[in-house]
């Protein structure tokens, strides 16, 4: 081939390819144009380009002069030394010339594809990336039995370089796109991709879709039990299952354990619930890991385009409101956004902010409600209840900032602050010589999960030199039952070993099983106010309370009834064998100064309880 033709060809092909790449054309478009140019310079040749995928299989990229049926017949063929000229060239990494397709052994299983098209010879060259990987093949077919001439060799030499450059360029572009829009951990589209797709959906003509946000249930417990590798496997498995959803449901991983699903053709709440049921059926299948069977599940919140928002930010925010509400009130289920949820979430956010400010400004303090002997009216202990003093001096009861306790960090900080102040108050009472016995102290699930409760208790009480026997830890049935792998019960047992007294609080409001009296490591049973309310006029309430008191006492537990508001209730409880109680009838929660004066006057003196037992025994 004359040098001037070689230079002309090289310059023409290269400038054409670079121009197409600069305009952002696909590799298929660029290589197709390259094939046409090559066929112009080599009119006896029919050009074909195949790529090799990660599974080492052939994929048609361009063959403008061959029937589509021929290219598709090669799709998915695994490369190998006997897989025609292209399969062999890719496998061997070197050119393969086949002057006669009909007689060549490499074509034995494939010549029936080529010969009917008049293809008699083939010459295929591997396309290599800069790192040496074979990424495709460039082939010339001929309609006569022959090999390539010098001109055709020169053309192919230039074309293979430009083809490899084009394919590798698209590989790099795809890799950069994946880094930007694909979650590498799960291979689902990531948050950036979600933002683009959600915006595109809201801007489409006549949009009809819904957004569903989902959180993985109990992932922390899986991490605690099986390690983070177990949690990772749960997330990956859920992602894999979400990939299998119908094309009308596009899944994304937003980060951590949060996923999003865009549901097309979804215009009603019924459609949303139907979509969640499909997601649930796909996700909630057994997963086996480390010889254990797990059942993954999701909690979801959803918002419909239109009634729940018409722009990306509003839809995402409202779906998030619904998800937050679902995690708190309907774990494992689905909640659609409602306007009142926004109000509830806003109130909770404000409550968290208010409590955080109160903690920072030291405006959280304990109030104390007396626990008395019903027969003598002597105070045997108090229960510490959190209060906030506003900047205007108003006292805010815990019920008014209850929403803030859903934030584990805030709940743990409240507990730590209260422990420090309660320990200091107990120290003061002991220093005053008050015959003080116990302070009841409420704890919640976050204290066991995040708050390092045992350490906080010991540090606070050791700092004030207060024996742990003066602390009654009040734990509800719900908190006991909410702990995975008995971690709450185990933590409580450790605290009891150190002298802390433990009470089962609000008995009757949680799971309310009498078997809990046998299984929970407690010393005191506190019967909830709901049983006390009807004890005077409802005989059945009396029977139930009497039975619980009898069982608890036979198990060696002390019993305290909560919420006593009238003398009639106190008399009735005393007749049922209940000795200890608390409620507004005996005193409302009061600050430390008021409680100190009350204890000075009414605290039970040492030996008084023993004397009372002796008097009751003598009367019996």
Q: What is the pLDDT of residues 576-607, one digit of tens each?
A: 999 999 999 999 999 999 999 999 999 987 65
Check the CA dihedral 444-450-454-457 and report its sign. Answer: negative
Residue 181 CA to chain centroid, in angstroms? Answer: 20
Domain assignment present for residue 602? The answer is yes
Query: Which one has a higher pLDDT value, 612 or 376?
Result: 376
Tokens of 341: 């949820």
What whole-number distance in Å separates Cα of residue 62 and Cα of residue 28? 6
Residue 165: φ, ψ to 5°: -60, -40
Write down which residue in 180, 211, 239 finishes a domain.
180
> 615: pLDDT confidence band, cut at 50, 70 and 90?
very low
- Residue corresponding to tokens 């320990």: 423
Closest CA to 503 of 530, 486, 528: 528
Residue 109 sits in the same domain as residue 198: no
Regarding whether 308 and 352 lie in a shared domain, the answer is no
Contact by Cβ (8 Å): 425, 383: no
Residue 378 and residue 464 share a domain: yes
313 and 406: one domain? Answer: no
> Strands, E, within 144-237: which ranges?
209-216
Task: Report if residue 185 sits inside a domain.
Answer: no
- Asked if residue 469 lies in contact with residue 507, where contact means CB atoms within 8 angstroms, the answer is no
State the total domains in the chain. Answer: 3
**Residue 473: its H or E element:** strand 471-476
On whether residue 67 sits in a domain, the answer given is yes
Confidence of residue 9 (pLDDT cuts 50, 70, 90): low
Asked if residue 382 and residue 319 are part of one domain, the reply reads no
Among 416, 417, 437, CA closest to 426: 437
Interval 110-134 mean pLDDT: 94
* 446 within domain boundaries: yes
Q: Which tens digit of pLDDT belongs to each residue from 142-162?
A: 999 999 999 899 889 888 988
Under a CB-based contact definition with an 8 Å cutoff, are residues 290 and 226 in contact? yes
Residue ranges of the alpha helices (H) in 42-149?
Answer: 68-74, 84-92, 111-114
In the numeric block, which tokens belong to residue 478? 């719900």
Residue 186 lies in a domain: no
- Token pair 């419909």 is found at 304
The number of CA neighbours under 13 Å toward the Cβ of 68 is: 0
Q: What residues are paired with 288 via a beta bridge?
A: 293
Boundary of a domain, candidates 305, 337, 369: 337
Tokens 């933590």 belong to residue: 491
| The pLDDT of residue 451 | 58
CB atoms within 10 A of CB 497: 9
pLDDT of residue 614: 38
Q: Which domain holds residue 128?
A: 3-180
Res. 620: pLDDT tops 60: no
Same domain, 222 and 168: no
**519 and 598 inside one domain:** yes
Q: Within this chain, do residues 169 and 99 fall inside the same structural domain, yes or no?
A: yes
CA nearest 195: which of 98, 260, 113, 280? 260
Q: Give the pLDDT of residue 617.
A: 41
Same domain membership, residue 364 and residue 311: no
Which of 337, 365, 395 finishes a domain? 337
> Alpha carbon of 577 to those of 97, 140, 503: distances in Å?
103, 101, 18
- The verdict on residue 618 lying in a domain is no
Whether residue 233 is found in the same domain as residue 295: yes
CATH classification of the domain holding 387: 3.20.20.450
Contact at 8 Å (CB) between 374 and 574?
yes
What are φ and ψ of residue 261, in 5° steps? Answer: -135, 125
Same domain, 64 and 157: yes
Q: Return the pLDDT at 618.
A: 37
pLDDT above 80: residue 485: no
DSSP state of 79: P
What CATH number does residue 130 fall under?
3.30.450.40
Instruction: Report helix, strand or coil for 266.
Output: coil
Check if the beta carbon of residue 479 is closer than 8 Å to that of residue 444: yes
């Amino acid at each position: 081939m004359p040098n001037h033709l070689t230079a002309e060809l090289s310059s023409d092909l290269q400038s054409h390819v670079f121009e197409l790449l600069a305009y952002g054309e696909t590799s298929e478009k660029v290589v197709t144009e390259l094939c046409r140019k090559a066929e112009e310079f080599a009119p006896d040749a029919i050009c074909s380009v195949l790529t090799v995928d990660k599974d080492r299989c052939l994929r048609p990229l361009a063959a403008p002069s061959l029937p589509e049926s021929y290219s598709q017949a090669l799709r998915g063929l695994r490369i190998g030394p006997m897989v025609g000229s292209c399969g062999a060239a890719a496998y061997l990494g070197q050119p393969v010339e086949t002057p006669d397709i009909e007689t060549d052994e490499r074509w034995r299983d494939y010549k029936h594809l080529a010969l009917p098209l008049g293809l008699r010879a083939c010459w295929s060259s591997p396309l290599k990336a800069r790192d040496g990987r074979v990424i495709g093949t460039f082939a010339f077919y001929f309609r006569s039995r022959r090999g390539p001439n010098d001109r055709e060799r020169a053309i192919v030499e230039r074309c293979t370089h430009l083809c490899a450059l084009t394919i590798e360029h698209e590989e790099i572009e795809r890799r950069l796109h994946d880094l930007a829009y694909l979650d590498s951990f799960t291979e689902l589209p990531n948050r950036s991709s979600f933002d683009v797709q959600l915006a595109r959906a809201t801007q489409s003509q006549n949009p009809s879709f819904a957004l569903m946000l989902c959180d993985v249930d109990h992932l922390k417990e899986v991490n605690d039990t099986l390690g983070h590798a177990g949690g990772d496997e749960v997330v990956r498995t859920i992602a894999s299952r979400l990939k299998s959803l119908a094309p009308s449901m596009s899944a994304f991983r937003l980060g951590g354990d949060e996923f999003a699903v865009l549901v097309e053709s979804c215009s009603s709440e019924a459609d949303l619930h139907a979509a969640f049921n499909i997601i649930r059926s796909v996700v909630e299948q057994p997963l086996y890991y480390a010889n254990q069977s797990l059942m993954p599940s999701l909690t979801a919140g959803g918002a419909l385009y239109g009634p729940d928002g018409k722009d990306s930010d509003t839809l995402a925010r409202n779906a998030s409101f619904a998800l937050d509400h679902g995690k708190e009130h309907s774990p494992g289920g689905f909640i659609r956004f409602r306007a009142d949820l926004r109000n509830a979430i806003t109130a909770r956010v404000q409550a968290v902010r208010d409590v955080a400010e109160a903690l920072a400004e030291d405006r959280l303090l304990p109030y104390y409600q007396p626990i008395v002997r019903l027969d003598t009216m002597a105070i045997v202990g108090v229960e510490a209840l959190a209060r906030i003093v506003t900047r205007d001096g108003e006292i805010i009861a815990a019920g008014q900032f209850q929403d803030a306790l859903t934030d584990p960090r805030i709940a743990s900080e409240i507990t730590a602050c209260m422990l420090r102040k309660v320990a200091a108050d107990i120290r003061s009472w002991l220093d005053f010589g008050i015959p003080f016995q116990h302070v009841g102290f409420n704890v919640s699930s976050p204290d066991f999960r995040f708050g390092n409760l045992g350490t906080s208790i010991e540090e606070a009480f050791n700092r004030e030199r207060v024996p742990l026997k003066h602390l009654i830890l009040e734990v509800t049935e719900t908190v006991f039952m909410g702990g995975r792998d008995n971690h709450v019960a185990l933590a409580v047992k450790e605290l009891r070993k150190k002298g802390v007294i433990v009470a089962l609080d609000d008995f009757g409001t949680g799971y309310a099983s009498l078997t809990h009296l046998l299984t929970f490591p407690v010393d005191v049973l506190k019967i909830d106010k709901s049983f006390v309310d009807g004890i005077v006029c409802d005989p059945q309430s009396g029977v139930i309370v009497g039975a619980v008191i009898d069982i608890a006492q036979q198990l060696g537990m002390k019993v305290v009834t909560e919420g006593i508001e009238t003398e009639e209730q106190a008399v009735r409880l005393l007749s049922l064998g209940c000795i200890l109680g608390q409620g507004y009838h005996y005193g409302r929660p009061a600050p430390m100064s008021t409680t100190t004066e009350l204890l000075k006057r009414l605290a039970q003196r040492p030996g008084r309880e023993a004397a009372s037992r002796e008097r009751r025994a003598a009367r019996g």
